[in-house]
Amino acid sequence: MTWTAKPIKHKGESRIAVYFEKNQDLIARIKQVAGARWSQQKTVWHLPDTIENRERFKIEPLKNSLPSAEGIIQIEKFKQWLRSKRYSESTISTYSEALKSFLIFYREKSVVEINNEDVIIYNNEYILKNKLSASYQNQTVNSIKLFFITIIGTKIDIDKIHRPKRAKLLPNVLSKEEVKLILNAHSNIKHKTMLSLIYSCGLRRGELLNLKPNDIDSKRGIVIIRQSKGKKDRIVPLSPKILEMLRDYYVISKPKTWLFEGQNVGEHYSEQSLQSVLKQALQKVGNKKPVTLHWLRHSYATHLLENGTDLRYIQELLGHNSSKTTEIYTHVSTKSIQQIKSPFDDL
């Protein structure tokens, strides 16, 4: 197998992009690396830019890419604490890498001497200077705060640290007509059912791929989503129409472990393949928008709101902790906006 790897910047983060011809064995191996993700935008697998990953893919290490000996010990303690609290490996990797970057910046200073002023200097002299994203800055500050409270036992006062304003981006929403075209694009029953289930239940990509046959409760008319974001279970209503589709799919595919399996029995259907299913559907219907699987979830929530569903129920169906997260859909719902008459019409 041949591959090439190089450091890249992706969404403000330092990552290592790994390029290779499509190979299921190599994809499976890359998925086992903590923090590995597929970028639909760059069409490449990318990993955290760590010392271990640079060694793994034979990339020259960065100068001064290690914290002090004390810093290395403290990072390991932080990882152990996160694992004891059952944080996901992805979160552990993200938090520990953010902390490592900070401690590399202060490698000549004792960890216990670091204070609020040092965090502000790091924000200005490293994050802003390197034009890293606002979300990365917030992520780093959260990591530093948690580390100092739990491991060092000192408090970093976040209120005194300049946090960037979050960009107020509206969710991308498709019309019902656009959704219908996309969901009907595939003749393959498996592909059609996967996309339809995401929209009909407002699922995240990982939630769909982690469904098991028994999670479809046809008698109660619900889908059980287990241990989703935030390690929470929730239930969503099962459309009679999607139930018929699932029954047709089940007769043909006879899934064993997962509701949607890969080429081999008991194997997870890959995120990359699911992205390709959507991409092919868009090509078939001639939709040139940069649609992602999450657009279907956004569209589900917005269409529920436009149908008159109470925002509190939508919050429960989506699995949001805060109602503020769900309220963003009120800004893209066209139900009220369409009733407003433009003064232009009176000219």
Residues annotated as part of the active site: 204, 229, 294, 297, 320, 329
Q: Which of 113, 108, 83 is nearest to 95 (CA)?
A: 83
Whole-angstrom distance, CA of residue 328 vs CA of residue 1: 46
Residue with tokens 């279970």: 233
Residue by residue, what is the 3-state secondary structure of the chain? CCEEEEEEEECCEEEEEEEECCCHHHHHHHHCCCCCEEECCCCEEEEECCHHHHHHCCCCCCCCCCCCHHHHHHHHHHHHHHHHCCCCHHHHHHHHHHHHHHHHHCCCCCHHHCCHHHHHHHHHHHHHCCCCCHHHHHHHHHHHHHHHHHHHCCCCCHHHCCCCCCCCCCCCCCCHHHHHHHHCCCCCHHHHHHHHHHHHHCCCHHHHHCCCHHHEECCCCEEEECCCCCCCCEEEECCHHHHHHHHHHHHHHCCCCCCCECCCCCCECCHHHHHHHHHHHHHHHCCCCCCCHHHHHHHHHHHHHHCCCCHHHHHHHHCCCCHHHHHHHHHCCCCCHHHCCCHHHHC
Whole-angstrom distance, CA of residue 167 vs CA of residue 135: 9
Tell me the residue type at 97: E
- Name every residue whose Cβ is closer than 8 Å to that of residue 231 and which is 6 or more positions away in sequence: 86
With beta carbons less than 8 A apart as the criterion, state whether 186 and 194 touch: no
Q: How many Å is the maximal CA-CA distance in the chain?
A: 74
